[in-house]
């Protein structure tokens, strides 16, 4: 049933704002379209059909990688570095990269998802080797920590928040904060410092990237049993501003509200990238296309090993390895290989791997995902500030009253502070029940209306400036680290190979971060070798 515009905006942006927005005059509407992922292709897996491969459509390979996100690309990269050349990487979509993919445009390229990588600690040697190979590194400091070339570090100003008609610096809203708000924020920081400095009997940190290096001490894992919001209340916190700040953190990294995410992942967000108390989090490596720069590097190294638009419909374990069957433009093709690296979301394994359900090595249904949509708005010029004292346009721009995450500015890193730009807008579907279904119930016009109406809170001229808005719907954007998942034992079971199939996906960490996908991709490649 078709809903009204007011009902649409109320669903996504809230009743009060929807009512106000619908009273405004008609605005010009830009061009655009839905781009990217095809839900229909992915749903072929759920049908459970059998596919016969003609005898002349078979080939052989040492290793087949299923999935061309960061985990799959990292596996291909590691295998090539170790001298394994006979590899095929099969990707469902027309473009590899998963949520790290990007597009070229004018005046700059722009991301469709992940848009930064924190500078890794010196212990993360594999990731540092990648950054060295990409010539992003200038050297090491006296403590051996990485020094990244300045042009690749996020340019100032980094962040601002819009609240009641004004833009303010940073993400924690200090404007109008009372003494009790500030006291609670300081106490929260003190607790974070305590966890940053915490070590178990073996010297392991409570929270660090990659997650495989975190302590499994009972004091730490107990945090996974409650939600982040409940944990905040248990500490005696009541400040609305602190709760918003923490809720924004979990929505940003996990696509979950603080009430939905575990306290463990909430604290992981604040602690895992801080070397020691009293110092800032690791700086961000970024560029206009976001993490698309890493996708392009991996793609250039893998070359013709990558095969896009390949729907893997069946993996049949054999005594010699496995037979992988895929659809190539509707034609069934097969690859007989010695090993498979399964770098697709873990919940898909029972639909693809023959015999998985009969002797399930792990509970694939426990790997639950959430939905997002991302919009790229192409503007003829920068939005005009409302007030002279407004904090200026930043890399990351967040609207306090909005359920969205705001937007990042693609031209920011290039120092282009005037003229055309591209704004990348993020909306996690964590405020809606049945978020995935609701996302795909709405087409381009509806979602573009949500995006433009939301941004008009802060930018009255957004309609006049926007010439085009393209939208990508991510039905299974990232794993949902709800309470009781991270330390349930499910992940540990799923990491183990099933016959000749090795699993490698960021799902295995329970948090959808570039570093975690990279870790599991390189780990699986080493297992295969």
pLDDT in tens, 303-319: 999 999 999 999 999 99
Which comes out higher in pLDDT, residue 178 or 17? Answer: 178
Q: What pLDDT digit, counting tens, does each position of 137-178 carry?
A: 999 999 999 999 999 999 999 999 999 999 999 999 999 999
Whether residue 50 has pLDDT greater than 80: no
- 189 pLDDT band, cuts 50/70/90, is very high
**DSSP assignment, residue 72?**
H
**Cβ neighbourhood burial of 289 (10 Å; 0-12, 13-18, 19+):** buried
Distance between CA atoms of 375 and 113, rounded to whole angstroms? 10
pLDDT of residue 45: 67
pLDDT of residue 194: 97
> What is the fold of 5-30+369-479?
Polyamine Oxidase; Chain A, domain 2 (3.90.660)
- Which residues are CB-contacts of 285 (< 8 A; sequence separation ≥ 6)? 116, 117, 118, 119, 131, 136, 148, 152, 153, 154
- 51 pLDDT band, cuts 50/70/90, is confident
Average pLDDT of the residues in 355-365 = 93
- 439 pLDDT band, cuts 50/70/90, is very high
**By percentage, how much of the chain surpasses pLDDT 70?**
97
- How much is the pTM? 0.96
Distance between CA atoms of 118 and 348, rounded to whole angstroms? 29
pLDDT of residue 446: 95
The H or E element containing residue 425 is strand 421-428
Distance between CA atoms of 100 and 58, rounded to whole angstroms? 31
- Which residues are CB-contacts of 66 (< 8 A; sequence separation ≥ 6)? 72, 90, 312, 315, 324, 340, 341, 342, 343, 344, 352
502 closest CA partner among 478, 479, 526, 518: 526
**By percentage, how much of the chain surpasses pLDDT 90?**
88
Whether residue 431 has pLDDT greater than 80: no
> What is the fold of 45-102+290-365+486-528?
FAD/NAD(P)-binding domain (3.50.50)
CB 247 within 8 A of CB 232: no
Query: Where in the chain are all domains bearing CATH 1.10.405.10?
Result: 180-282
Biggest CA-to-CA distance, the chain: 75
pLDDT of residue 244: 98
- 3 pLDDT band, cuts 50/70/90, is confident
Cα–Cα distances in angstroms (integers) from residue 210 to residues 136, 366, 487, in the given order: 20, 21, 15
Whether residue 409 has pLDDT greater than 90: yes
Please state, as a whole number, how many other Cβ atoms lie within 10 Å of the Cβ of residue 468: 15
Average pLDDT of the residues in 496-513 = 97
Query: Where in the chain are all domains bearing CATH 3.50.50.60?
Result: 45-102+290-365+486-528
Average pLDDT of the residues in 495-502 = 96
311 closest CA partner among 34, 63, 87, 37: 37
> What is the fold of 180-282?
Guanine Nucleotide Dissociation Inhibitor; domain 1 (1.10.405)
Residue with tokens 């660090």: 208
Which comes out higher in pLDDT, residue 488 or 5? Answer: 488
Q: What pLDDT digit, counting tens, does each position of 454-484 carry?
A: 999 999 999 999 999 999 999 999 999 999 9
pLDDT of residue 115: 96
Average per-residue pLDDT for the chain: 94
- 20 pLDDT band, cuts 50/70/90, is confident
Query: Where in the chain are all domains bearing CATH 3.90.660.20?
Result: 5-30+369-479
Whether residue 336 has pLDDT greater than 80: yes
Q: What pLDDT digit, counting tens, does each position of 85-103 carry?
A: 999 999 999 999 999 999 9
Whether residue 346 has pLDDT greater than 70: yes
pLDDT of residue 41: 64
pLDDT of residue 42: 63
pLDDT of residue 37: 67
Q: What pLDDT digit, counting tens, does each position of 391-402 carry?
A: 999 999 999 999
């Amino acid at each position: 049933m078709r809903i009204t515009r007011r009902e649409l905006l109320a669903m996504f942006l809230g009743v009060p704002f929807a009512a106000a927005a619908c009273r405004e005059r008609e605005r010009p509407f830009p061009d655009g379209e839905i781009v990217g992922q095809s839900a229909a292709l992915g749903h072929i897996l759920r049908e459970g059909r059998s596919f016969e491969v003609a005898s002349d459509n078979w080939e052989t390979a040492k290793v087949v990688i299923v999935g061309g996100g960061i985990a799959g690309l990292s596996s291909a990269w590691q295998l090539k570095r170790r001298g394994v050349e006979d590899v095929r990487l099969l990707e469902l979509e027309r473009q590899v990269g998963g949520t790290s993919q990007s597009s070229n445009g004018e005046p700059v390229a722009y991301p469709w998802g992940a848009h930064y990588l924190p500078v890794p600690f010196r212990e993360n040697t594999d990731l540092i080797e990648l950054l060295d190979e990409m010539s992003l590194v200038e050297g090491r400091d006296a403590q051996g920590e990485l020094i990244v070339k300045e042009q690749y570090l996020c340019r100032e100003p980094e962040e601002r928040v819009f609240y009641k008609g004004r833009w303010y610096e940073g993400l924690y809203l200090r404007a109008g904060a009372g003494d009790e708000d500030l006291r609670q924020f300081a106490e929260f920081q003190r607790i974070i410092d305590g966890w940053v400095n915490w070590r178990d009997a073996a010297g392991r940190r409570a929270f660090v990237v990659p997650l495989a290096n975190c302590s499994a001490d009972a004091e730490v894992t107990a945090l996974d049993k409650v939600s982040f919001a409940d944990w905040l209340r248990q500490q005696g916190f009541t400040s609305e501003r602190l709760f918003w700040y923490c809720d924004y953190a979990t929505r940003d990294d996990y696509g979950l509200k603080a009430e939905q995410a575990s306290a463990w992942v909430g604290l992981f967000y604040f602690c895992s990238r801080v070397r020691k108390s009293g110092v800032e989090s690791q700086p961000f490596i970024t560029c206009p296309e976001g993490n698309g720069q890493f996708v392009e590097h991996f793609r250039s190294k893998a070359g013709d090993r990558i095969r896009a638009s390949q729907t893997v419909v069946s993996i049949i374990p054999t005594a010699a390895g496995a037979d992988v069957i895929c659809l190539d433009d509707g034609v069934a093709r097969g690859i007989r290989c010695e090993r498979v690296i399964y770098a697709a979301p873990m919940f898909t394994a029972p639909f693809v791997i023959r015999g998985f359900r009969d002797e399930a090595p792990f509970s694939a249904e426990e790997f639950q995902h959430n939905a997002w949509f991302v919009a790229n708005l192409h503007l003829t010029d920068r939005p005009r500030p409302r007030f002279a004292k407004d904090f200026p346009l930043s890399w990351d721009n967040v609207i306090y009253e909005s359920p969205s995450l705001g937007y990042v500015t693609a031209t920011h890193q290039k120092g282009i502070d005037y003229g055309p730009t591209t704004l990348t807008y993020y909306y996690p579907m964590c405020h809606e029940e049945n978020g995935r279904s609701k996302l795909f119930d709405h087409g381009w016009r509806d979602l573009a209306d949500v995006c433009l109406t939301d941004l008009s809170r802060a930018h009255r001229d957004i309609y006049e400036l926007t010439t085009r808005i393209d939208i990508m719907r991510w039905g299974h954007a990232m794993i949902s680290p709800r309470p009781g998942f991270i330390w349930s034992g499910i992940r540990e079971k799923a990491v183990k190979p099933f016959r000749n199939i090795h699993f490698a996906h960021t799902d295995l960490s329970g948090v959808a971060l570039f570093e975690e996908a990279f870790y599991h991709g390189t780990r699986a490649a080493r297992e295969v070798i």
